[in-house]
Amino acid sequence: MYLLRADARFPGSGRWDYTLIPAAPSNPGRLPIVTSPHNRLSFPVVSARRDDERLRIERDLRVSEERLRAIFNSEPECVKVVDLAGRVLDMNAAGLAMLEATSLDQVRGGSIARFVHPADLPAVQRMFELAASGSAGAATFRMITLKGAERWAESHASPLRAGTDQVNAVLSITHDVTDRRRTTEERDLYAQAMRSMNVGLFVASLDEEGPPPVFRFVAANEAALRLTGLEEHAVVGRAVNECFPALAATGVFAQGIDALAARTPRLVGDVPYSDERLPARVFNVALAPMSDRTLAITFQDVTEQRHLEEQFRHAQKMEAIGRVAGGVAHDFNNLLTVIIGYLEAVRLSPRMPAVLRGDVDEAIAAADRAARLTRQLLAFSRRQVLQPHVVVIDTLLRDLGPMLHMIVRENIDLRIDLRALGSCVRVDPGQLEQVVVNLVVNASDAMPAGGALSVRTSRIEMGVAPHH
């Protein structure tokens, strides 16, 4: 028995393709019989198909293949088929463009590893291993193009089976996520900067325009929580006036409404604030609209800065007073020099009556005290030439006492306790007096509510703790 494939055309029946075997005499009638025209040949029919149907099927297959190829190439993402050894079998146009290839021949047959950053290759290999084992896999990695450019990519791999249960290739779809990743990283960096910066940031949304307007917190950075002493769960979702009840009186809410209406940032400036929970502080506040109903509120605690600025202004005033006092003291010292000179001349004159000598001595003593006062003023204004010599500490402070009492406020009790017991030091008296004056002034400024201020001298042996 043998098979015979025949191509036959019968009149009026079209062209047919037959697979035939000879009829066996011992098995008549068991297989269909086809008889050629004029009954010359008879064969059992194993299969028969019209040739024009085969041509139609082949044509449909070509059309279907072309359609699939068109879909394959029109896919905007990289689509590739990789064999189980990791070699590229096929890739669409978008994939070639992603890899900066001009033709499929540049990538076909090459290992997929050549397009992956070495540090990310293990993750890509695991993805293909999963797909080769029959499961889906995914990986995010750095892709290296043919021109050496580096891009971030995200791939999903699936197994391919050609009519069997066995996986014989892997289908991979890759997305270029460079821009998305860069945007995400920039957003994360911005969020991290907002969280870590020293400027407080609240984000508040307008719930009710009022009056009074009601803003509700929707976000806060770490600096804002630290500056206000609040926890995030106690802020987010709550109304601003609930968290800061004294804020309504500052006019910040009204300025927030104006900023939203104008859609322009607004510098509120220094806002003094205190309540039962928060001690008196000064915050520098600025408002920036984020949308038509959302505000970004930035603020800094400038309490210490403003205090230092006030001290600086006070120092400038003292310096100005010192310059004026120095000018007056200089002129007054010149007059005293003349006065003391004439008084000395009168006292030494043999014609001066004895009854007046006591009066002249008192006048000279008063002039000397005035001269010491002018030296103190000159030292205060730093216009005196340095003249270091040995001075008795207690004596210097005792003479300085009246001036010290004049520079402290009335609510401060200044006490001068001298225990140096004749101790001496070589120093410019004016400079030492200036040091003591500065100490007393600074201590007085640090006592706004008043109190007792003591200036004390004592003998101290080096290496031995002082006894009080």
Q: Cα(324)–Cα(315) distance, rounded to whole angstroms?
A: 14
Q: Cα(257)–Cα(205) distance, rounded to whole angstroms?
A: 11
**What pLDDT shows up at residue 75?**
76
Q: Give span(s): CATH 3.30.450.20, the chain.
A: 75-182, 198-301
Q: Cα(185)–Cα(207) distance, rounded to whole angstroms?
A: 32
Q: Cα(299)–Cα(295) distance, rounded to whole angstroms?
A: 13
The ranges of the chain with pLDDT < 50 are 1-6, 10, 13-14, 17-20, 23-24, 27, 29, 31, 34, 36, 40-43, 45-46, 48
Q: Cα(185)–Cα(143) distance, rounded to whole angstroms?
A: 18
**What pLDDT shows up at residue 435?**
85
Q: Give span(s): CATH 3.30.565.10, the chain.
A: 385-468
Check: CB of residue 204 under 8 Å from CB of residue 257: no
**What pLDDT shows up at residue 230?**
86
Q: Cα(431)–Cα(388) distance, rounded to whole angstroms?
A: 9
- Record the tokens describing residue 383, joined without a space: 């216009």
**What pLDDT shows up at residue 51?**
61
Superfamily of domain 385-468: Histidine kinase-like ATPase, C-terminal domain (3.30.565.10)
Buried b (16+ CB within 10 A) or exposed e, 347-385: eeeeeeeeeeeeebeebbeebeebbbbbbbbbbbbebbe
Check: CB of residue 406 under 8 Å from CB of residue 380: no
CATH number at 75-182: 3.30.450.20
Q: Cα(232)–Cα(221) distance, rounded to whole angstroms?
A: 9
Tokens 């035939």 found at: 20
**What pLDDT shows up at residue 1?**
43
**What pLDDT shows up at residue 362?**
84
Tokens 């990289």 found at: 78
**What pLDDT shows up at residue 384?**
58
Angle, helices 429-445 vs 393-407, to 10°: value is 40
CA distances from 210 to 214, 253, 297, 322 (A): 7, 10, 19, 55
In this predicted model, what pLDDT tens digit does every residue of 390-423 receive, in sequence order? 989 888 888 888 878 888 888 999 999 988 888 8
Topology of the domain covering 198-301: Beta-Lactamase (3.30.450)
- Mode of pairing for the β-strands spanning 33-35 and 150-160: unpaired
Check: CB of residue 340 under 8 Å from CB of residue 367: yes
